């Protein structure tokens, strides 16, 4: 028996409230929702989109809302604050009450001091917007750009120091898997791509010829920086390490997918020691894209902001310092350490760099914040230190 529109709205409302009640950061939100929808196959594509849009709106806006309200009341305010364009969700919200656009939002709890180059008002406003998607085309660039523009006329091509007519900005809800071969592009935020390019184009940087270049990607994750470096310097020899074997498995799959070579992957906890790297040392350059609060990406993962505990910053800062300290021992004299975070907090950025330089004697050549708040992109921090 087919549900009436009102029964369907009530059904979806119950799903939304159930997720809000049960979700406690067990998984990243997009993984949690994917699993939830698999368990409820009767939800159609329109239903799933309405639920996902509602949940993301709720977590984007929750840090701006007064505590103690009923979740549904918060949800109506949240969808107004993020200016949802989901007409079906609007109908669901209007089915039981009228909501009004609130005044200019203010965060309910103060944030730690921000890094230089990030303003609190711009940062707060960006938290309520869904960021865009950025891709880097690897081949057949002209043909793929034509296809992209047929489906997404508002797509914007962005030129960076190493890439011309390759990086494309797309709406956050784009579906590229249906129009482009997955081997022909990499999804990577433009600020993340810029962080390494800024480091590699610094005026005082003097690196060996590419065929002799040895680079260590300390906290590689799934290999965003490793793949980016290979796209820039194909002949470079790279060692990629991470504490998580599962994420290294993903990196190895991507290495195979993109047909990359001269990359060694090793499981290691560099915050404890770097003994596993001795056969490959010394390095000309080390990329320390360290674990952090992720505050520069909270617009993309608002659940992380909603459940953020300020007391964790001390742990992050100490771990970042230990990783960088242990890693820098394996830079050859005259080599470089590229310290990168996706945090906007000074405690994880400038403070760590100052402490690191004082402890190790590394020379700070450059440090800056990459402000993505007005570009619907992530915000990053990058510092260049010389041994």
Q: What is the mean pLDDT of residues 259-263?
A: 96
Task: Write out pLDDT tens, residues 29-60.
Answer: 999 999 999 999 999 999 999 999 999 999 99
C-alpha dist (Å) from residue 242 to 74, 116, 146: 39, 29, 38
Q: What is the mean pLDDT of residues 200-218?
A: 87
pLDDT at 275: 81
Q: What is the mean pLDDT of residues 109-125?
A: 95
Range in 2-16, 110-124, 319-333 the model is least confident about: 2-16
Closest C-alpha to 26, from 342, 304, 311, 315: 304
CA distance linking residue 321 with residue 127, whole number of Å: 27
Please state the φ and ψ torsions of residue 172, each to the nearest 5 degrees: -60, -20
Work out the number of other CB atoms within 10 angstroms of the CB of residue 377: 27
Residue 5 has pLDDT above 60, yes or no: no
| Percent of the chain residues topping a pLDDT of 90 | 80
Q: 313 near 241, Cβ under 8 Å?
A: no
pLDDT at 10: 84
Q: Does residue 377 or residue 7 have the better pLDDT?
A: 377
pTM exceeds cut of 0.75 = yes
Residue 184 has pLDDT above 90, yes or no: yes
Q: 131 near 378, Cβ under 8 Å?
A: yes
Sequence-ordered list of residues with C-beta below 8 angstroms from that of 24, at least 6 positions apart, any chain:
307
Average pLDDT, the chain: 92
Task: Write out pLDDT tens, residues 246-255.
Answer: 999 999 999 9
pLDDT at 101: 56
pLDDT at 103: 63
Q: Which two tokens stand for residue 275?
A: 């003994």
pLDDT at 1: 41
179-215 CB burial, b ≥16 within 10 A, e <16: ebeeebbbebbbbbbbbbbbbbeeeeeebeeeeebbb
Work out the number of other CB atoms within 10 angstroms of the CB of residue 77: 24
Q: 112 near 118, Cβ under 8 Å?
A: no
pLDDT at 27: 95
Task: Write out pLDDT tens, residues 321-377.
Answer: 999 999 999 999 999 999 999 999 999 999 999 999 999 999 999 999 999 999 999
CA distance linking residue 156 with residue 171, whole number of Å: 10
Residue 100 has pLDDT above 80, yes or no: no
Q: Which two tokens stand for residue 166?
A: 């390759």
Orientation of helix 87-94 relative to helix 71-81, angle to 10°: 140
């Amino acid at each position: 028996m087919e549900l009436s529109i009102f029964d369907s709205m009530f059904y979806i409302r119950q799903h939304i409230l159930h997720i809000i009640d049960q979700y406690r950061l067990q998984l990243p939100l997009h993984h949690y929702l994917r699993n939830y929808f698999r368990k409820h196959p009767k939800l159609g594509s329109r239903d799933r989109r309405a639920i996902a849009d509602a949940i993301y709106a709720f977590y984007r806006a929750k840090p701006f809302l007064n505590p103690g309200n009923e979740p549904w009341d918060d949800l109506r305010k949240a969808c107004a604050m993020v200016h949802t364009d989901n007409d079906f969700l609007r109908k669901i919200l209007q089915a039981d009450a009228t909501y009004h656009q609130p005044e200019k939002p203010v965060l309910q709890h103060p944030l730690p001091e921000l890094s230089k180059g990030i303003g609190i008002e711009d940062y707060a406003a960006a938290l309520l917007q869904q960021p865009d998607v950025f891709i880097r085309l690897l081949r057949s660039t002209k043909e793929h750009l034509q296809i992209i523009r047929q489906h997404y006329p508002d797509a914007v091509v962005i030129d960076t120091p190493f890439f011309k007519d390759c990086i494309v900005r797309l709406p956050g809800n784009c579906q590229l898997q249906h129009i482009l071969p997955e081997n022909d592009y990499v999804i990577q935020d433009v600020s993340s791509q810029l962080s390494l390019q800024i480091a590699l184009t610094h005026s005082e940087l003097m690196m060996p010829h590419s065929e002799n270049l040895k680079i260590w990607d300390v906290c590689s994750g799934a290999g965003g920086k490793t793949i980016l470096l290979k796209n820039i310097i194909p002949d470079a020899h790279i060692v990629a390490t991470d504490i998580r074997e599962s994420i290294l498995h993903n990196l190895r799959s991507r290495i195979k997918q993109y047909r990359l070579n001269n990359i060694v992957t090793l499981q290691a906890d560099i915050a404890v020691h770097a003994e596993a790297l001795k056969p490959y040392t010394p390095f000309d350059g080390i990329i320390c894209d360290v674990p952090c609060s992720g505050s520069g990406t909270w617009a993309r993962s608002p659940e992380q902001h909603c459940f953020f505990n300020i007391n964790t910053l001390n742990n992050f800062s100490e771990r970042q310092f230990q990783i960088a300290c242990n890693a820098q021992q394996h830079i050859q004299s005259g080599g470089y350490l590229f310290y990168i975070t996706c945090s906007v907090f000074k405690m994880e950025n400038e403070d760590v760099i100052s402490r690191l330089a004082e402890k190790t004697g590394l020379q700070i050549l450059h440090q800056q914040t990459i402000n993505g708040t007005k570009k619907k992109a992530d915000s990053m921090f990058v510092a260049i230190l010389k041994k």
